[in-house]
Structure 1
């Protein structure tokens, strides 16, 4: 009765359950803190093997909290290597745990104890404990490196558990203390174990494809049947269309699937037993199946499921036969309706329709039994041609006399849920989809949908993370330079640099530290380019040495003219363009690096406003290299000028040095390419930004429905799809620039692809199913340098090298 009263006061509990897309259960959404730092986990649910003192007890082991002496610290007696100390958390119910966080003890500077490594054990019933292992079968997790910072670690694979133990790995070097947090969401399937025949091995064209349940946390029985527990069929990851590939785990082919051949099953079916935590009212079962029929793999022909509510099995099973598909080889979910059967266990027999049958994920939708009333509805959202399914379960416990009021309440809540979902969609549309290129969206819509990749899940995950300022701060390091960017509209329509807003604020109050240059000393030679707001001219400047800073070395003699580039703002330019021009001057005046084009002077006394920058006598790197050949027989026969490999690497090292300087200021170039690198004497390189303005390079820029022009062949996938420009996207462009350099700019990057195909290829980087096309290794390129290029094109921006690392690698590898 007390429970009923409590539930009535609670009124209604709602839950959005997102199902697998092509990349599985959206673990990016299931990453909420479970209550150590927020206090939802009570003190009595936190225990430990031992403690230093009352002030370092288990209840003080909460992430980012400073109560007590600042952490849980185990009492160490005897040899540390023999210790089995642990901090245990009871979540009171099963949870799907995807992430863990740890922190040491600093106690306001009084402590310096932390766990450099640790292990995790977990249990679903409190009696049988399982050691967590990574997908590479490693138990030890890298922990903290100091007592202050929070270290987050993804659990790959995730776990389903009620009890979790953090076990620091201790040695003689230091004492350990820990503060911890668990991240995930409640496990709603109610599934506590399954019993399945062992997965088998396929030999395909001489390649071994292992289709075993590799993350199963139970034991194997003598009958070659996996004993009851949980594993790969519930790990939240749905397999790729091509079962010979795997997600990025560095594991064996077939890893994502559990599969069997009909030769091993004379009955013609595979039987799987599912045990649940209690008797439930089942509505559906979803089975993610491979359907690569060209390899004799198909969705099951039919499934027959039996239900056990108490001790006996019901005599009448549910049978379902999906429609066979010999046209589309994509993996897919098959939904089986259970028509509200009540059961605590389900036994399903999946019949072969071809030689092989492979599953990667099985989920159940159900409600509990009792006096509770359960309502479940499926909400469908559409993004382009993609459908997103949300299962909304509304649970309430009421007496019969309140039934009518409850129905009204449930109806209102369901309506509110629909309204909230609609608001989320509108917000996502305005904040994310408008940032995406309309052309990209049109090209990728069908591709993304065919692979069931739901772009909308990305911003949903971001919104979920944003709800916790603590989690947002932790997960955002390192950020590179991606937030609060001020974009300056250059005189020719391009952006000189993307500059952090903080930097612009610091610059806004300072005068321009560049002298006025007399216009009469400029002689115009040719127009380099033009844009909406102005032009860029190549000029000769007289008496330039009189305007040099004392820290600026310029190799000219007295009265010698020098080549300069003059950016000229049109007199009729609007106010915004004039303000951006002045800001650009302020920025350029403070860029002082030997590998960055310098601002030499300005003409501000009258219109048109001008800024005068360096220009190198050998022009841009693209044209310079295209006129040269590598050293070798071809150059000798053609009598063409040559450039040695050592000089190529010397030039690339200078580009990396200039970008290292820009990135140290948090500046993002956004158009790094050989066309924007100028060449001087002795292969000196200086980075500029003239490329977009020159008709010569109009083919390097792709126009988006008459609006923006973008250098898509140099841009990272996240810049094209998400409009995200960072230092990491500059690193990507550097990899392409390095490729151009080592090919002597003889062809455009991805010359075999049309602009539309280049954009489609960015979708392959987004999907990350190993179908993306990389630029090939140039003939002159050593393996270590090509490896460096590939690292610049890593899908994960945080795993790309910094410009400091790139510069060091190039310096160390110089011949």
Structure 2
């Protein structure tokens, strides 16, 4: 998710509310002037709408910080209104633990009277697609004690943007006085034909669910969940498909498949709530790690072992074996759609297309939906044919991701158009097709298995049962 920030009106003051619509500021005076050396000044809030300097640069780069950043080019210094430097915005890595909060923080250098805050989506030369639909606001006067802003009805969620480019402003009622300000949010996971998927923090959900739910061991703690919501303008066909998806997911019960927790179908908007795992998605998890070695141990670098990678491969094959037994075609198997808990248990999920952090993994073919072409079998790209066999092809690409530790995108040297052309070479089968290279960490026998997954003929590809049986003996008991 990418955010821009606009803050309004600097006044070095301490606030005390007296009448609705107006505020008396207690401002230090050079000479004692009653009330113990403070001067009372009346200010009408509608006049307090002066920009603080996020857009014009008066707020310096070093005074803008963040909980994390995806790349240097998406660092907090780019979180400025109508700014197209870097990749056009700040982009966080995303929450990895339930207690983790992603935020953008501004140090205003002095106590400041704030009446309005605004956000804008990722601009990026008119190519950006991400925006924050809602967020929370925390503030502090000393950087030590933080408070959460809430309106007069006790609500703390501010509604953000509805599209990429338009600035969305929120009047703060009541206003606040602070030196430090943080925008805090949960990630928008994806957007597809049905609607949107958001990462949320749910309180009291284990008590709400029936006995035997997968969240029973959470001891009433808040948990991360993914909430998939049907768009208000969805067609009747999309509504029927959404209900069909709920029906299918309600049947799924496997240790390596994400669980449907609850649904809302009695009123609009229709939505479903599924598990979300503490360690986030497999792509993010692996891309932040190195293979286990003396160096990683000595320098406390996050690492994984070859045994860990093989265990991940077995779990993914086991989950896909279960889906195949139900004739369920996933269509978007990739490390970004595999989640991990704190014990490195993998659960396969599908949070819709165009996930913000992975928007470059999808390609919009004219007249068709956005597609993960770098993971797709040739018949899926050229003929629109999706089967368990095309899932097997995607499984081979997912294995390749795992054993490269997700350090690069599949076919990274090919453009999207060249990837599509390469699918034509697979169809013609004249020896000119380009295969993914053998990852250095990958055992030769495992790469041979990947190559079988990418067989031109569907019948030559292994089944998920066969893949599971081939992979399981390679994992240490």
Normalised by the length of structure 2, the TM-score is 0.59
Which residue does the alignment assign to 2:337? 676
Q: Deviations over 1:544-599 (max 9, x none)?
A: 22344555443633321111000111233222221111111111111111111111
Partners of 1:641 and 1:570 lie apart in 2 by 39
- The farther-off stretch of 768-777 and 550-559 is 550-559
Q: Deviations over 1:344-399 (max 9, x none)?
A: xxxxxxxxxxxxxxxxxxxxxxxxxxxxxxxxxxxxxxxxxxxxxxxxxxxxxxxx
Q: Deviations over 1:80-102 (max 9, x none)?
A: xxxxxxxxxxxxxxxxxxxxxxx
Which residue does the alignment assign to 1:574? 235
> What's the CA shift for 1:689?
0.9
Which residue does the alignment assign to 1:611? 272
Is 1:725 the counterpart of 2:394? The answer is no
- Find 2:311's aligned residue among 644, 650, 655: 650
Partners of 1:666 and 1:531 lie apart in 2 by 22
Written as runs of structure 1 = structure 2, the 5 A alignment for 1:500-511 is none
Partners of 2:399 and 2:467 lie apart in 1 by 11
Is 1:790 the counterpart of 2:455? The answer is no
Partners of 2:356 and 2:330 lie apart in 1 by 20
Q: CA 1:532 to 1:795, structure 2 compared with 1: closer, same or farther past 3 Å?
A: closer
Partners of 2:225 and 2:363 lie apart in 1 by 29
Partners of 1:707 and 1:726 lie apart in 2 by 18
Partners of 1:681 and 1:714 lie apart in 2 by 27
> What's the CA shift for 1:633?
5.1
Contact kept? 1:676, 1:691, Cα under 8 Å = no
> What's the CA shift for 1:603?
2.1
Q: CA 1:555 to 1:651, structure 2 compared with 1: closer, same or farther past 3 Å?
A: farther
Which residue does the alignment assign to 1:759? 420
Which residue does the alignment assign to 2:289? 628
Contact kept? 2:206, 2:216, Cα under 8 Å = no
Which residue does the alignment assign to 1:240? none
Which residue does the alignment assign to 1:583? 244
- Find 1:742's aligned residue among 362, 379, 403: 403
Is 1:560 the counterpart of 2:221? The answer is yes
SS in 2 for 1:653: helix
Written as runs of structure 1 = structure 2, the 5 A alignment for 1:250-649 is 525-531=186-192, 533-548=194-209, 550-554=211-215, 556-632=217-293, 635-636=296-297, 639-649=300-310
Q: CA 1:530 to 1:633, structure 2 compared with 1: closer, same or farther past 3 Å?
A: same
Q: Deviations over 1:154-195 (max 9, x none)?
A: xxxxxxxxxxxxxxxxxxxxxxxxxxxxxxxxxxxxxxxxxx
> What's the CA shift for 1:692?
1.6
Which residue does the alignment assign to 2:325? 664
> What's the CA shift for 1:601?
0.4
Q: Deviations over 1:124-152 (max 9, x none)?
A: xxxxxxxxxxxxxxxxxxxxxxxxxxxxx
Which residue does the alignment assign to 1:808? 469
- Larger Rg belongs to: 1
Partners of 2:416 and 2:295 lie apart in 1 by 32
Contact kept? 1:676, 1:689, Cα under 8 Å = yes
Contact kept? 2:354, 2:370, Cα under 8 Å = no
Q: CA 1:613 to 1:726, structure 2 compared with 1: closer, same or farther past 3 Å?
A: same
Q: CA 1:773 to 1:693, structure 2 compared with 1: closer, same or farther past 3 Å?
A: closer
Greater RCO, 1 or 2 (C-alpha within 8 Å, sep 6+): 2
Q: Deviations over 1:703-749 (max 9, x none)?
A: 11264211111011111122211111100000000000010100000
Partners of 2:411 and 2:350 lie apart in 1 by 22
Written as runs of structure 1 = structure 2, the 5 A alignment for 1:686-705 is 686-690=347-351, 692-705=353-366
Partners of 2:459 and 2:214 lie apart in 1 by 37
Contact kept? 1:547, 1:600, Cα under 8 Å = no
Partners of 1:621 and 1:644 lie apart in 2 by 15
Partners of 2:368 and 2:299 lie apart in 1 by 44
SS in 2 for 1:608: coil
Partners of 1:791 and 1:611 lie apart in 2 by 36
> What's the CA shift for 1:634?
5.4
Q: Any unmatched runs of 5+ in structure 1?
A: 1-519
Partners of 1:612 and 1:546 lie apart in 2 by 15
Q: CA 1:634 to 1:707, structure 2 compared with 1: closer, same or farther past 3 Å?
A: farther
Tell me the number of residue pairs that the alignment of Structure 1 and Structure 2 aligns.
296
Partners of 2:272 and 2:386 lie apart in 1 by 26
Written as runs of structure 1 = structure 2, the 5 A alignment for 1:50-449 is none
> What's the CA shift for 1:530?
2.9
Partners of 1:631 and 1:538 lie apart in 2 by 31
Q: Any unmatched runs of 5+ in structure 2?
A: 1-154, 159-184
Superposed CA RMSD in Å reads: 2.3
> What's the CA shift for 1:525?
3.4
> What's the CA shift for 1:763?
1.8
Which residue does the alignment assign to 2:107? none
SS in 2 for 1:556: helix
SS in 2 for 1:681: coil
Q: CA 1:552 to 1:810, structure 2 compared with 1: closer, same or farther past 3 Å?
A: farther
Q: Deviations over 1:649-700 (max 9, x none)?
A: 1111111011000000111111100011111121111111125231211111
> What's the CA shift for 1:534?
2.1
Partners of 2:437 and 2:410 lie apart in 1 by 10
